[in-house]
Amino acid sequence: MSSSDESPSDSQQHTPYCDDGCTIEHHPLLQMILALPGILGDKKIELNQCIRKYKAGGGWNVDDPIPDPIPEFRYPMLHWAAALSKLHLAS
């Protein structure tokens, strides 16, 4: 997520697969993917920084599942990119 003081909208915090009224705080990588626009532009730097943070912090690899608190949501980034129609993340 960005370091701005703005709080992300609900659509940026929850997947379309969340139950109505979901109160789970999803993993920051998943929140980042949800918040990304259709064209990355300047957000590509922010996404890469987020990815580097989790790779360095514990051996997470981009091919590994995102460690979301909901076990059913633990899929790799490429899966989430496809599920959220954000295939431009694959580049």
- Residue 86's pLDDT band (boundaries 50, 70, 90)? confident
Residue from 72, 31, 71 nearest 54 by CA: 31
Are residues 28 and 1 in contact, defined by beta-carbon separation less than 8 angstroms? yes
pLDDT in tens, 46-56: 888 888 888 88
pLDDT of residue 7: 42
Domain ranges, ordered by start, for the chain? 10-90
pLDDT of residue 25: 93
Angle at 71 between CA 69 and CA 76, to 5 degrees: 95
pLDDT in tens, 6-42: 344 445 689 999 999 999 999 988 988 888 876 667 7
Residue 91: pLDDT over 50: yes
